[in-house]
């Protein structure tokens, strides 16, 4: 049953891009509703009823509301995937994907949000050194996770790649990826960018995001 899925998002948001990539990979039709965070539309009574945590992305599947991109993408594969390739049912394989998803939620994305949220909502444009260091650490972990594999958990693309790549690519708004230091991360991001429709679902919004954040930031020495 498709067609009843509604994704609420803001196009520049990294976790929204991860959901769009997943919906595309599953070949699902959905309605997209833009929520302008800068206009505080996520704090409206109507949106708060759907998601009291007031974050995007938010999925409405026929009246069931799910938020947090990681919960959304896992739900989509479990419910609508024709195979379990993107989110394996095998417990050990799934645990590896989950580890990377939780890494994205708790480490990778937070290293970005800790800079972007103060900037967009409180006009804090000076980035302290420790916040830049946390981004370097996050890039380093991704480099290690990749090892000799083309994707984050091995030879197949999974939800871990969609979620982590959506965030990792956006980190360039704060700290450009050093290709000499993190060659595997650079090659992995390039590999993902050749997915069909990646431009439409991800690259254009990414460019917009970087242009909104990067020029305004200053760095503590
Ligand atoms: N872990 C969440 C993070 C969601 C998140 O922080 N989204 C940002 C936009 S990128 C947002 O909605 N910010 C508004 C707010 O937190 O009030 C996810 O993966 O969905």
Residues 111 and 51 in one domain: no
Residues 70 and 49 in one domain: yes
Q: Is residue 100 part of a domain?
A: yes
Residues 104 and 183 in one domain: yes
Q: How many separate domains does the chain show?
A: 2
- Nearest-angstrom CA–CA distance, 195 and 114: 29
For residue 57, give the ligand 1 atom closest to its CA: 20
Residues 133 and 68 in one domain: no
Q: What's the pLDDT score for residue 4?
A: 87
Instruction: Answer yes or no: 13 catalytic.
Output: yes
Q: Is residue 59 part of a domain?
A: yes
- The set of residues, in sequence order, having a beta carbon less than 8 Å from that of 143 and lying 6+ positions away, is 181, 182, 183, 184, 185
Task: Tell me the CATH number at 101.
Answer: 1.20.1050.10
Helical residues (DSSP H) of 26-108, grouped into ranges: 45-50, 69-80, 91-103
- The set of residues, in sequence order, having a beta carbon less than 8 Å from that of 44 and lying 6+ positions away, is none
Q: What's the pLDDT score for residue 220?
A: 86
Tell me which residue has its CA closest to atom 18 in ligand 1.
68
Mean pLDDT in runs of 10 for the chain (221 residues)?
A: 82 97 97 97 98 98 98 98 98 98 98 98 97 98 98 98 98 98 98 92 95 96 76
Q: What's the pLDDT score for residue 3?
A: 54
Instruction: Evaluate: CB of 72 within 6 angstroms of ligand 1.
Output: no
Q: What's the pLDDT score for residue 79?
A: 98
Residue 6, Cβ density class (10 Å: 0-12 exposed, 13-18 middle, ≥19 buried): middle
For residue 105, give the ligand 1 atom closest to its CA: 1
Residues 127 and 191 in one domain: yes
Residues 51 and 122 in one domain: no
Q: What's the pLDDT score for residue 17?
A: 97
Residues 137 and 214 in one domain: yes
- Nearest-angstrom CA–CA distance, 8 and 11: 10
Q: What's the pLDDT score for residue 221?
A: 76
Domain housing 149: 91-219
Element (H or E) spanning 16, and its range? helix 14-25
Instruction: Evaluate: CB of 22 within 6 angstroms of ligand 1.
Output: no
Q: What's the pLDDT score for residue 132?
A: 98
Instruction: Evaluate: CB of 57 within 6 angstroms of ligand 1.
Output: yes
Domain end among 47, 80, 113? 80
Task: Tell me the CATH number at 52.
Answer: 3.40.30.10
Distance (angstroms) between ligand 1 centre and the Cα of 197 equals 24
Domain end among 57, 80, 103? 80
Residues 120 and 188 in one domain: yes
Q: What's the pLDDT score for residue 2?
A: 47
Distance (angstroms) between ligand 1 centre and the Cα of 173 equals 17
Residues 102 and 197 in one domain: yes
For residue 18, give the ligand 1 atom closest to its CA: 19
Instruction: Evaluate: CB of 116 within 6 angstroms of ligand 1.
Output: no
Residues 76 and 101 in one domain: no
- Nearest-angstrom CA–CA distance, 168 and 18: 11
Distance (angstroms) between ligand 1 centre and the Cα of 57 equals 7
Residues 160 and 98 in one domain: yes
Residues 98 and 189 in one domain: yes
Q: Beta strands 5-9 and 31-34: pairing type?
A: parallel
């Amino acid at each position: 049953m498709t067609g009843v899925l509604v994704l609420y998002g803001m196009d520049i948001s990294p976790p929204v891009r991860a959901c769009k990539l997943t919906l595309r990979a599953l070949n699902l039709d959905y309605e997209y509703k833009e929520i302008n965070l800068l206009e505080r539309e996520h704090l409206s009574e109507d949106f708060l009823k759907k998601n009291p945590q007031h974050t995007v992305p938010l999925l409405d599947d026929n009246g069931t509301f799910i938020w947090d991109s990681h919960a959304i993408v896992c739900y989509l594969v479990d419910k609508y995937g024709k195979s379990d390739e993107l989110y394996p049912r095998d417990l050990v394989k799934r645990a590896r994907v989950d580890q990377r998803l939780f890494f994205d939620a708790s480490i990778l994305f937070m290293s970005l949000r800790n800079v972007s949220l103060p900037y967009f909502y409180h006009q804090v444009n000076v980035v302290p050194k420790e916040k830049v260091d946390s981004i370097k650490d996050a890039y380093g972990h991704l480099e290690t996770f990749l090892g000799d594999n083309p994707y984050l958990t091995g030879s197949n693309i999974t939800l871990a790649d969609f979620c982590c790549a959506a965030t990792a690519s956006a980190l360039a708004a704060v700290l450009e990826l050093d290709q000499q230091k993190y060659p595997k991360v650079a090659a992995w991001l390039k590999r993902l960018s050749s997915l069909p429709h990646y431009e439409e679902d991800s690259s254009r919004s990414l460019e917009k995001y970087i242009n909104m954040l990067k020029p305004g930031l200053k760095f503590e020495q």
